[in-house]
Amino acid sequence: MLNQRLQQKLLQKLSPQQILLMKLLQIPSIALEQRIKQEIEENPALEEANEDEILDADVDYDEPVDAEEYDQEKEEETETKDGDDEFDLNDYIADDDDIPSYKLNANNYSSDDERREIPFISGNSFQDLLYSQLGMRNLNEKQQQIASYIIGNLDDSGYLNREISAMVDDLAFALNIQTTKEEIQEMLYVIQDMEPHGVGARNLQECLLIQLRKKEQQGPETELAMQLLERHFNEFTKKHYDKILKKAKITELELKNAVDEILKLNPKPGNSHSDSSKTNHYILPDFFIYNTNGSLEFQLNSKNAPELRINRTYMDMLEDYAASKNKNQHKDAISFVKQKIDSAKWFIDAIRQRQNTLQITMQTIMNYQQEYFMTGDETKLRPMILKDIAEIVNLDISTISRVANSKYVQTPFGTFLLKSFFSESMQNDSGEEVSTREIKKILSDCIEAEEKGKPLTDEQLTQVLKEKGYNIARRTVAKYREQLNIPVARLRKEL
């Protein structure tokens, strides 16, 4: 049975401009340049300003945008969209004449900014080194192909994680090479004989044994180290030294010398090649904080954001269409040009809003954690959550989260992820609110100062923290220790 009824709903929908602003907020500065270039490619009405126009600009585009003015502009744009059927091209062009030029472009550089190019280095990977050594071996064409295929299957650490039986099938189907497990194993031994020593291993145990066998000077401790890896590898990885002493019937000094010999080895020989481009990781900070004569100052990194403006050719096209007598014939072209110009304005406006939001958020965080940024002492960090900053800057918590999630700040004490300054609060014995990061710092210091032969258990660490005035449970200590990537006491034990 069909029926009709009225239903009233209250819905909140985000405008395209708001969605664009949220997406721009969450990307870091290093990705902003690529996003701007993508927009320029997709929208011909948007373009980069040349250097002469940048130098002649007399407006500071990093100036914060007035929120009321921004909202008023958005309302006006919405009203214009609603009345699109009664759109007058002459009014549209006349309105643009009244818009200040700085609102039609975005200058992401300050006049005091020093322009620098970031050098990117490229080098040869350890696979390239293996290929070059392979050419020096006396191998036939089939062996060369098999060895090359094995090298191509090595991961970044130099390990072979592919089963030999599976490689037999791969070579048959992919390269039409009929081979056997024995032939592949023979070529694998050839690769394991190359430098850096340890590559081509199928597990950590084999990797360490290869390196020990390749040592030029082998003494009693080297032989004992090989015996430990061959016969007591499981106990060695779990640091059950007491079991090893009983089974191997050796002294503690002999065990210590053998363990020291093993610790000198490289568990990831593929990463030892200094020219490997995959080992080079760069962090481009989004903010810079400076301590100038006891006064904190911060700067927003805008070096990866080119200057933007509306393409004047598209504005001239609208003027030509407005002067034309046959506007109806060019209705589609006029709609297309207007859409592109509006999209370019929204993007420029979103970039300016992004800069403004980043500025006020970072300024608030810097003021909130001023004592830490002045001294660099992690114990001076105040408890701070997203809600604290959101209430001060009068923005939504999700906005603050997008700002802090993937942004880095460079301080006089190092470069840190912005969200690392946010932490929950706990009360000490005196009733004072302290940051959980302060407790983690004290916990880390306690573990660093412990006797390595008798490391502190979680229960003992809990007692130490209680003596310092931090009354927390043992499971909380274990949670903080895991967050700091610190192993349990047994695995921290040293001979």
pLDDT, tens digit, for every residue of 104-149? 555 555 555 555 555 555 556 778 888 888 888 888 888 888 888 9
Average pLDDT over residues 346-358: 87
Average pLDDT over residues 404-415: 87
Q: Is the pLDDT of residue 84 over 60?
A: no
pLDDT at 107: 55
Helices (H), 83-140: 89-98, 126-134
Q: In this structure, which topology does domain 425-492 adopt according to CATH?
A: Arc Repressor Mutant, subunit A (1.10.10)
Between the CA atoms of 148, 150, 153 and 156, what dihedral angle is there, to the nearest 10 degrees?
-90
State the average pLDDT for the chain.
78
DSSP string of 218-250? --HHHHHHHHHHHHSHHHHHTT-HHHHHHHHT-
**Tens digit of pLDDT for each residue in 202-226?**
999 999 999 888 887 788 888 888 8
Please, are residues 154 and 199 in contact by the beta-carbon 8 Å criterion? yes
Average pLDDT over residues 21-38: 82
Nearest by Cα to 310 from 338, 339, 345: 345
Q: Which residue did the predictor score with more confidence, 195 or 277?
A: 195
Kindly report the backbone phi and psi dihedral angles of residue 412, in degrees, each rounded to the nearest multiple of 5, phi listed first: -60, -10
Locate the domains of the chain by residue range: 15-109+279-422, 126-272, 425-492
Please, are residues 481 and 462 in contact by the beta-carbon 8 Å criterion? no
**Tens digit of pLDDT for each residue in 271-294?**
765 444 444 557 788 889 888 888
Could you tell me if residue 170 is left (phi over 0), alpha (psi between -120 and 50 degrees) or otherwise beta? alpha
